Structure formats: C-alpha cells, structure tokens
Homo-oligomer: A and B are copies of this chain.
Amino acid sequence: MKFYFAGAIRGGREKLDIYIKINKLLERYGEILDKHVADPNVEKIEKNNSKEEIYNRDINWIKECDVLVAEISTPSLGVGYEISYAENLGKEIICVYDDNINISAMIGGNKNFELINYKNSNDLQNKLEDKLNSLNI
C-alpha cells in the first residue's frame, strides 16, 4: 500500500507526536510517500524548495498513493486542499481527529470518506489498525 500522509505544517505542529505514531503504524502496512510531514525538521528540510516545487511534488504523490490518511485536528489549508484533491481522484481517504476538536463541517459533514475520532494515541492506534486491516488494496 502506498500512503500519502496529510498533516498541518504552517497551520501548527501541536499534533506532531500523533503524526509520528500514525507514520510508524502506516510503515507496517506499506510505504509513506511524504515521510517529511511527520519529521520535526520539516520546515528546514523544505527551506530550499519553492512553494511551486512543493505543490507539484505533493500533487504527484497524491496521484500515486492508494490511501490518503489525514490528521485533521489542526486547522490547515493544505490538508483541506489535499483531502478534496484526493476525493476527486476517487482515492481511499481516512481522516482521524482528536475527540475534543469540533472539526470543520466541510470534512465532518462529508459522507464520502471514513472519519475516526480518538480519545488518545492508543485508541487511535487500535481504530486505525482495524480500518487498515479492512482495506482491500
């Protein structure tokens, strides 16, 4: 399975620990195309790339992936954009979010994809594992 992982970068890194845990889990199921999103040094890693280069690279990875997994607890223009882009390509989409967050209606009210809310990182791990095990990819 090829994964695209969507997480906030400029929108805020409060959920970085969760991003790292999700990435560790996804690596047991396949390849993460954009591993840098869960890297604490992502802004340093990308500092020599223009925004246009980043955009083109990420769009190509979304086209290439089988499953887009998005952590949506932190508001982010890029994550919202990527979810809609992947939805339009008919990709499998899994959105996970902290139970304490009141998520956007544009994501929470959309019946086209799987939403997983979690109480803590163990709960997330269990629910995401169940979902990944159920995929026929």
Within 8 A of B (CB), among A93-112: 102-111
Majority secondary structure of chain A interface residues (helix, strand, loop or mixed):
helix
Within 8 A of B (CB), among A52-94: 52-56, 58, 72, 74-85, 88
A2 to chain B, nearest CB (A): 19
Q: Report the nearest B residue to A50, measured CB to CB.
A: B109
Is the Cβ of A51 less than 8 Å from the Cβ of B105? yes
A47 to chain B, nearest CB (A): 11
Is the Cβ of A104 less than 8 Å from the Cβ of B75? no
Copies in the complex: 2
A75 vs B83: C-alpha distance when bound (angstroms): 15
Residues on B with beta carbons closer than 8 Å to the beta carbon of A51: 105, 108-109
A residues with CB within 8 A of B? 8-12, 46, 50-56, 58, 72, 74-85, 88, 102-111
A131 to chain B, nearest CB (A): 20
A44 to chain B, nearest CB (A): 14
Q: Do A104 and B84 contact each other (CB < 8 Å), given the known contacts A53-B109, A109-B50, A109-B56?
A: no
